[in-house]
Amino acid sequence: MLTEATLQSVHNETRQGEAYAPFELDNNLYHKKFYIESYGCQMNFSDSEIVASILQAEGFGATRNYLEADLVLLNTCSIREKAEQTIRKRLTEFKKVKDARPGMLVGVLGCMAERLKSKLLEEEKLVDMVVGPDAYRTLPGLIEEAETGQKAVNVMLSRDETYADISPVRLESNGVSAFISIMRGCNNMCSFCVVPFTRGRERSRDAYSIINEAKDLFARGFKEVTLLGQNVDSYYWLPPSPKGVCEEASNNNAVTFANLLEMVAQVNPQLRVRFSTSHPKDITEDVLHTMAKYENICKYIHLPVQSGSSRVLQLMNRTYTREWYMAKVDQIKNIMPDCGISSDIISGFCTEMEEDHKDTLDIMRYSGYDMSYMFFYSERPGTLAARRYTDDVPLDVKKRRLQEIVELQGKLSLESNKRDIGKTFKVLIEGESKRSSDDWMGRNTQNKVIVFAKTGGNLQKGDYVWVKVKDCTQATLLGEMIN
């Protein structure tokens, strides 16, 4: 399927359109039921866990079956046109159920809320309420308003909302890995991206609330956390200053992302730490050295390049050149030779020529990505690109170039996995393999999935084991446990 991230390895965490049901709720305690689906990035899935916590406090329990839900919510993604089409289709399906069950409420959350609120509420009459990503605390009041027959809307963006005091309900969790949101919003104005307009400006969460959440997760048996943000490397938190302390002294106490990463790693050496996503311009040498210093900080960086052409990167407002990006890849590999790197790649951006496309293929080979999320350009209303440039690359050309990108990434992924044959890795068991209950599935520090037989030992999810790689596919390492 060429229009979405084609090379979806089995360790893709951003599953789309999957219904959630909290594993930790006893629904007999709740007099109403909610159903929620999340689309798009990891931040949306993390936000759904915050929403679940708010709804739980209001007496709602989760259900896997939207046909029996009193409240149906879609946490939406606006990053690509196909995602919006999928959500509209899903809302149409829900409307048919709602027509037969007048008491049921349907709401849209997240990134589609602001741009499409009028169409969804008034023109198409698909939903009862629209709630932006900074307005989830107002859900109880909005539900009450919608129950009276009024259309309920809150899409206001905030300069300080981080939901730091809300303990997320871990939805559809494997009990091993969990997300921790460390910041919200984005200050980077990439010309193709809607995030600054749908999620607002950057604000960093209180570092101590992050550490406390990590400690709580570990105490409950979780063995891996992923620190989430639109651009985690720009995390910067200033503790409140005591009276009489000057601004310069206060800034000396600032917590950077490198500081935060170290603090989370020190929670417990048995707690693995990952993070996503990094903007190449912001990932510092301090972060790289901190990663190298701690064994439990995973040696894996998602480093979106978007294009290998300096000319196109300038149009995208990515603020770096191809040479600068390649130097950053060199720096990563010099400090951590075993570090895995993945990327995001867009084909067919405005004015892209064959020479630009060849530059993208070239930078993929240079970087040797383990995997990538690959798309063709989809113009999004309201973005800088939509206002400044013409979407002038024909669709068939976009698809052909994307196909070449996908094929090259397939070769790079297979080559990367073949280089691991014969190596031994520490693997965190996440559960049984989807293909066989006789096998375990886990990941190594480079975020590669490893499948291996359940031979010997009394192992369970959350255990660490050493696995020697014997074979591989394009997406998966195949191995056996060793002592």
pLDDT at 86: 85
pTM here is 0.87
Identify the pLDDT of residue 17. Answer: 36
User: pLDDT tens, position by position, for the chain (483 residues)?
Assistant: 323 332 222 223 333 333 333 334 444 566 799 999 988 888 888 999 999 999 999 999 988 899 999 999 999 887 777 777 888 889 999 989 998 888 899 999 988 887 777 777 776 688 999 999 999 999 999 999 999 999 899 999 998 999 999 989 887 778 999 999 999 999 999 999 988 888 889 999 999 999 999 999 999 999 999 999 999 999 999 998 665 555 555 567 899 999 999 999 999 999 999 999 999 999 999 999 999 999 999 999 999 999 999 999 999 999 999 999 999 999 999 999 999 999 999 999 999 999 999 999 999 999 999 999 999 999 988 899 999 999 999 999 999 999 999 999 999 999 999 999 999 999 999 999 999 999 999 999 999 999 999 987 789 999 999 999 999 999 999 999 997
CATH number of this structure's domain 299-419: 3.30.750.200
Give the whole-angstrom CA distance, residue 52 versus residue 169: 6
267 in Cβ contact with 297 (< 8 Å): no
Quote the pLDDT of residue 483: 78
pLDDT value, residue 333: 98
Find the radius of gyration of the CA atoms of the chain: 23
Q: HEC states along the chain?
A: CCCCCCCCCCCCCCCCCEEECECCCCHHHCCEEEEEEECCCHHHHHHHHHHHHHHHHCCEEECCCHHHCCEEEEEECCCCHHHHHHHHHHHHHHHHHHHHCCCCEEEEEECCHHHHHHHHHHHCCCCCEEECCCCHHHHHHHHHHHHCCCCEEECCCCCCCCCCCCCCCCECCCCCEEEEECEECCCCCCCCCCHHHHHCCCEECCHHHHHHHHHHHHHCCCCEEEEECCCHHHCEECCCCCCCCCHHHHHCCCEEHHHHHHHHHCCCCCCEEEEECCCCCCCCHHHHHHHHHCCCECCEEECCCECCCHHHHHHHCCCCCHHHHHHHHHHHHHHCCCCEEEEEEEECCCCCCHHHHHHHHHHHHHHCCCEEEEEECCCCCCCHHHHHCCCCCCHHHHHHHHHHHHHHHHHHHHHHHHHCCCCEEEEEEEEECCCCCCEEEEECCCCCEEEEECCCCCCCCCCEEEEEEEEECCCEEEEEEEC
CATH class of 424-482: mainly beta
Domains 179-272 and 299-419 agree in fold: yes
Q: Is 207 within 8 Å of 237 (Cβ atoms)?
A: yes
The pLDDT, as a whole number, for residue 130 is 92
How do the domains of the chain map onto residue ranges?
18-154, 179-272, 299-419, 424-482
Structurally, at CATH architecture level, domain 18-154 sits in 3-Layer(aba) Sandwich (3.40)
Q: Which CATH number fits domain 179-272: 3.30.1330.20, 3.30.750.210, 3.30.365.10, 1.10.8.50?
A: 3.30.750.210
Are the CB atoms for 374 and 403 separated by under 8 Å?
no
